A and B are shown apart, each in its own frame.
Chain A
Amino acid sequence: MNKIETNNVNFWYGDFHALKDISLDIEEKSVVAFIGPSGCGKSTFLRLLNRMNDLIPNTRLTGDILIDGQDIYDKDIMVDELRKNVGMVFQRPNPFPKSIFENVAYGLRVNGVKDSDYIRHRVEESLKGAALWDEVKDKLKVSAYALSGGQQQRLCIARAMAVSPSVLLMDEPASALDPISTAKVEELIHELKKNYTIVIVTHNMQQAARISDKTAFFYLGTMVEFGETKRIFTNPDKIETQNYITGRFG
Chain B
Amino acid sequence: MINNRKHFSQSIAFGTFRFLSLMVAGILFAILGFIIYKGIGVINWEFLTTAPTDGMTAGGIWPAIVGTFYLMVGSALFAFPVGVMSGIYMNEYAPRGWVVRFIRVMTNNLSGIPSIVFGLFGMALFVNYLGFGDSILAGSLTLGLLCVPLVIRTTEEALKAIPDNLREGSRALGATKLQTIWHVILPMAMPNVITGLILAMGRVSGETAPILFTCAAYFLPKLPNSVFDQCMALPYHLYVISTSGTNMDAQLPLAYGTALVLIVIILFVNLLANALRKYFEKKVKTN
Contact = CB atoms under 8 A, between A and B. Distances in A.
Q: Is B a genuine binding partner of A? A: yes
Interface of A: 50, 52, 55, 57, 80-84, 87-88, 90, 92, 94-99, 102, 106-107, 109-111, 142-143, 145, 156, 159-160, 163
Contacts of B171: 52, 55, 83
A110 B168 contact: no
Contact of A96 (B95, B96, B176, B184): B184
Given A82-B174, A110-B176, A111-B174, 15 more contacts: A52-B168, A55-B167, A57-B96, A83-B171, A84-B173, A90-B168, A96-B166, A96-B184, A97-B285, A99-B286, A102-B287, A106-B175, A107-B173, A159-B173, A163-B173
A142 B286 CA distance: 6
A80 B152 CA distance: 30
A225 B285 CA distance: 46
A107 B175 contact: yes
Of the candidates B169, B176, B179, the one having the most CB atoms from chain A within 10 angstroms of its own CB is: B169
Nearest to A84: B174
B158 to A, nearest CB: 14
Contact of A94 (B169, B188, B287): B169
20 contacts: A52-B168, A52-B172, A57-B96, A82-B174, A84-B173, A94-B166, A95-B169, A96-B166, A96-B170, A97-B188, A99-B287, A106-B175, A106-B183, A107-B173, A107-B174, A107-B175, A156-B169, A160-B173, A163-B173, A163-B174
Of the candidates A82, A83, A110, the one having the most CB atoms from chain B within 10 angstroms of its own CB is: A110
A110 B174 contact: yes
B168 A94 contact: yes
Nearest to B163: A94
B172 A160 contact: yes
Contact of B174 (A81, A99, A145): A81
Contact of A110 (B95, B166, B173): B173
B206 interface: no
A178 to B, nearest CB: 20
B174 A94 contact: no
Given A110-B179, A110-B183, A143-B286, A80 B174 contact: yes
Of the candidates B170, B175, B188, the one having the most CB atoms from chain A within 10 angstroms of its own CB is: B175
Contacts of B184: 96-97
A81 B176 CA distance: 10
Interface size class of B (residues with CB under 8 A): 20 to 34
B173 A106 contact: yes
Interface in B47-73: none
A92 B96 contact: no
B176 A57 contact: no
A110 B286 CA distance: 20
B285 A92 contact: no
Contact of A98 (B96, B168, B176, B287): B287
A94 B162 CA distance: 12
A83 B285 contact: no
Interface string B75-102: 0000000000000000000011000000
A235 to B, nearest CB: 36
Nearest to A87: B172
Nearest to B286: A143
What 8 pairs across the A-B complex have the smallest Cβ distances? A107-B173, A84-B174, A110-B175, A88-B172, A94-B165, A94-B169, A80-B174, A83-B174
A13 B168 CA distance: 18
Interface string B262-287: 00000000000000000000001111
B170 A50 contact: no
A87 B173 contact: yes
Contacts of B285: 97, 143, 145
Contacts of B287: 97-99, 102, 143
B187 interface: yes
Contacts of A80: 174-176
A52 B169 CA distance: 10
A9 to B, nearest CB: 20
A142 B287 CA distance: 8
